[in-house]
Amino acid sequence: MSSIAPVKLRCAHKNAPLGLEDGQASFSWQVQALTRNAAQSAWQIQVAPQGQAFDEDCVWDTGKTSGGDQLHIHYSGEPLAAHGRYQWRVQLWDAEDAASGWSEPASFAMGILDCEEWKRAQWISHFQSSLSACPHLRKEFAIKGEIADARLYLTARGLADIEINGQPITDCKLLPGWTDYSVRQPSHCFDVTALLKSGDNAIGAILAEGWYRGKMTWESLHGIWGGVIQLLAMLRIERPDGSVEWVVTDDSWKSAAGPTLSASLLDGESYDANLTLGDWSQPGYESTKRWYDVKAQPVGDELIERHVGVPVRELKEFKPVNRWQPCPGKWIFDLGQNFSGYARLKLNVPAGTTLRLRFAEVLTPDKEIYVDNLRTALATDLYVASGEADETWAPKFSFHGFQYVELSGFPGEPPEDVLTGIFVGSDCPEAGQLRCSNPMLEKLASNAVWTQRSNYLEVPTDCPQRDERLGWTGDAQAYLRTAIAFHDVSAFFDKWLVDLEDACEPDGRAPMVAPTGSRGRDKKLINSPNRGTAEAAWGDATTICPMTIYKCYGDRRVLERHYGMMTRYVDFYRRTTVPGRKVRYGYQYDNLPEGKGVISPTLFGDWLNVEAKTAGEIIRTAFYAESTRLCCNAAYILSKTEDAEKFSEEWDAIRTDFQREFLTEDGRIVGRSIESDSQTGYLLALHFDLLDEAHRAKAVEHLVADIRSRDTHLSTGFVGLPYLLPVLSRFGQTELCYELLLKEDYPSWGYEIAHGATSIWERWNGYHDEDGPGDPNMNSYAHYAYGAVCEWLFSDMAGIELLDVAFGKIRIRPRVGGGLTYAGATHECVRGSIRSDWKIEGDTFQLEVEIPGNASAEIHLPTADAASITEDDAEVPSTESDASGYRVVEVGAGNYKFRCKLP
């Protein structure tokens, strides 16, 4: 009998995906360990058409294949048919060569494999292309006979909400999503078989501006990608005999204005329920309102491709925890949590009653909603009631970032259930939980999770509330490792890395934000002399993000797809160094082959630091070194040995020149433009390994001295913060890490929590005891960059660290301290569940560990007394000590309970 079994099969990062395109079918599974130390020695995959026998009709059978591979095994069998449905299964062999049974079959379906197929349909729009209201589009059609399979393929320039026979086709929101529409058009595939019937049917769509045409950024830009919102859809109906019928968008559709008078992602939605169109998406519909012919436009050569990311959905409801009336006619509701989404109304009011909803993250000192920090975003929904009993409404095409809702216009006192908060975000699967004996640290983790969830909406944005909501690259890379600890973001970043590469300039310069806007047009999301490019920590998202995703999820194709982006970025760095030295200063020009001078990208520096600027040349050169090292690693992984050797030599040269330029005789890190050191300068030098061993101890001394000189407070901004606690832990300063974590005065995470934060602030001083909210020009209360500290809570407080790709080898090394009596974390990695829970009772340290199948781990126990170590009450025969004096035990898959004496 085998000691392992295959479970949790996934294809292309998802369960049973629909509409795959060429090259997207890749197979992964988890190895269930039925005994300790169980591991996979071989595997076999079979793929067959849905409903046919594996043994007789396989289109791909790998046969028994030696190895522990279990992640992202790419299909290489017979060509898969467009729109075909397939099933697949896997069998494993353990270390003793005993075969498991076959897994339960999993499924996937192919989609449109040739963009030319989209040309059977046409782009359609309301006849008034500039209509500000959200137009309704509809078509009736008949189906003869039975339906075996029906799928709807759709995309839109703007946003689309689709119904068939009066029923929504999906619970996904804000379709088709956000990308750089000038480069590619995202499409989706939905199984609609259950919504259709033999006989008469109808399909309808509501369109809105969305990101494509709507208001964006603090500059209130409109029409970044275009001025006409359009729908493109194809309904494929397959009968039992294999024949196919298509219903497509064309000039046979009709259009009309509807009850949604306006919809803006930033400003909100206005809806008049008295203008509803009745059963407009059902067959046999009769209307007193005139429906007009649509405008139809042929499909051109645009790249239409499957949206590979994560769908946006309604994910949680929040009931008000408090409400009050600041003045007659106005009520404020506290939902208890800052999040992204909208409010759903439930009403019994007279027809024509106009209700206004305004949204805010915090309150003014006199308990009114605070909206100054929203800048030009109105964040206001208007609803005109129909007077029907128990009418309900929520926006379809807008969202806000808020904890508080101001309701005005309600006649009398509203009932308790008049308003419910609906959290909306990309549906990334939960992957991690933290727990410990300190409530403030648990609250910090919760705040980080909610900030991440509120900003992971189509792209990793900076904030969900004000007139910005852009995919800032620096924030994304700084927080990514923490994001992975909390959620499975593999598919989410699979999509965004494409956006990132689309936004890069051909010469290698990287964007401030991604998506960034139309290529070849004057309008961009960031209008600036350098065309919205950024370097040093922001631009390095091009190297840091692909490598981090690869390390944590093990998909080599991430590096294959984005290796060019990574190396072009380092090429740009290289071209803008000081002549004869591998260091980088500002105000340099890149001399391109055609002789043009291009000003260097924007350097944001250690953004929002606390009175501790770091010299730009230190940041520039440090990230040049790190991106070079990451390119070196990627080259080795991709077997590009010659490239790897060149990058390795370049990194050595940068490291040498960094020390020559910025390292003083007494071990301080000081630049030329700012003749003082900083915490961030030391953190970059130490974390990126830019110092020789002889200089590290002195640099750590200076770092610690700087922290102590500030009454044990940090001074780091966005750039230094992710490395602060990891560097201190690495160099034996665990107790200082806990001191920083547990501070409750400014600047600290505890300061935010003490002031009622339910999410992570953009600024350490976002709120003042006396004055209330801080600078309204840039003051988000849901900005995840400073939440990057939570990576340390997983890796050091709980002790779960990745040692090999995709957690093939794990280190469990809890850092005891801070007065904690217990702490722990669970992380669902691609291989399965990892768990570390420790507690202290008297002088005894207890550690419970779970290691997934097909993985191994080093267990580091905080004791010098090897004889005191037991596992499940049995003595552990022998151990070695690590550099910290911990004793190390090697284990394989399984559950373990260790005990030892604390020193």
Tell me the H-state helices in 504-640: 541-553, 556-575, 616-637
Query: Minimum mean pLDDT among 218-232, 761-775, 824-838: which range?
Result: 761-775
- Give the separation between CA 557 and CA 628, rounded to whole angstroms: 20
Asked if the model's pLDDT at residue 590 lies above 60, the reply is no
- Give the separation between CA 313 and CA 315, rounded to whole angstroms: 6
Q: How confident is residue 528, by pLDDT bands cut at 50, 70 and 90?
A: low
Strand partners, 332: 324, 406
How many helices (H) and strands (E) are present in the chain, helices listed first?
Answer: 15, 53
Asked if the model's pLDDT at residue 595 lies above 50, the reply is no
Asked if the model's pLDDT at residue 693 lies above 50, the reply is yes
The pLDDT value given to residue 844? 96
pLDDT tens digit string along 370-408? 999 999 999 999 999 999 999 999 999 999 999 999 999
Asked if the model's pLDDT at residue 358 lies above 50, the reply is yes
* Sequence-distant contacts of 691-699: CB under 8 A, at least 24 apart: 691/659, 691/663, 692/659, 695/659, 695/663, 695/667, 696/731, 697/731, 698/666, 698/667, 699/667, 699/668, 699/669
- Give the separation between CA 179 and CA 400, rounded to whole angstroms: 20
Neighbour tally for 123: CB within 10 Å = 24
Segment 708-725 mean pLDDT: 98
Q: Which of 163, 361, 468, 661 is catalytic?
A: 468
Segment 272-301 mean pLDDT: 95
Segment 578-607 mean pLDDT: 75
Write phi, then psi, for 841 (nearest 5 degrees): -130, 110
Scored b (16 or more CB within 10 A) or e, 402-423 reads bbbbbbebbeeebeeebbbbbb
- Give the separation between CA 207 and CA 231, rounded to whole angstroms: 8
The pLDDT value given to residue 599? 66
Give yes or no for a contact between 781 and 455, defined as CB atoms under 8 angstroms apart: no
Q: Is 762 a catalytic residue?
A: yes
Amino acid type, 827: H
> In Å, how far from its chain's centre is CA 571?
27
Give yes or no for a contact between 78 and 106, defined as CB atoms under 8 angstroms apart: no
Q: Which of 163, 269, 762, 828 is catalytic?
A: 762
pLDDT tens digit string along 722-772? 999 999 999 999 999 999 999 999 999 999 999 999 999 999 999 987 778
pLDDT tens digit string along 38-49? 999 999 999 999
Q: Is 78 a catalytic residue?
A: no
CA–CA–CA angle 577, 581, 582 (5° rounding): 60
Q: What percent of the chain has pLDDT over 90?
A: 90
pTM above 0.85, yes or no: yes
The pLDDT value given to residue 520? 45
- Identify which of 540, 427, 432, 445 has the alpha carbon closest to the alpha carbon of residue 492: 427
SS (H, E, C) 518-531: CCCCCCCCCCCCCC
CA end-to-end span of the chain, whole Å?
Answer: 44
Asked if the model's pLDDT at residue 211 lies above 50, the reply is yes
- Give the separation between CA 398 and CA 589, rounded to whole angstroms: 42
Beta-sheet strands, E only, within 174-294? 185-191, 199-208, 230-238, 244-248, 254-257, 260-264, 268-272, 292-293
The pLDDT value given to residue 598? 61
Q: What percent of the chain has pLDDT over 70?
A: 97
Neighbour tally for 324: CB within 10 Å = 10
Scored b (16 or more CB within 10 A) or e, 218-251 reads eeebebbbeebbbbbbbbbbbbeeeeebebbbee
Asked if the model's pLDDT at residue 879 lies above 90, the reply is no
Asked if the model's pLDDT at residue 193 lies above 70, the reply is yes
Asked if the model's pLDDT at residue 521 lies above 50, the reply is no
Neighbour tally for 440: CB within 10 Å = 15
- Give the separation between CA 213 and CA 223, rounded to whole angstroms: 4
Average pLDDT taken over every residue of the chain: 95
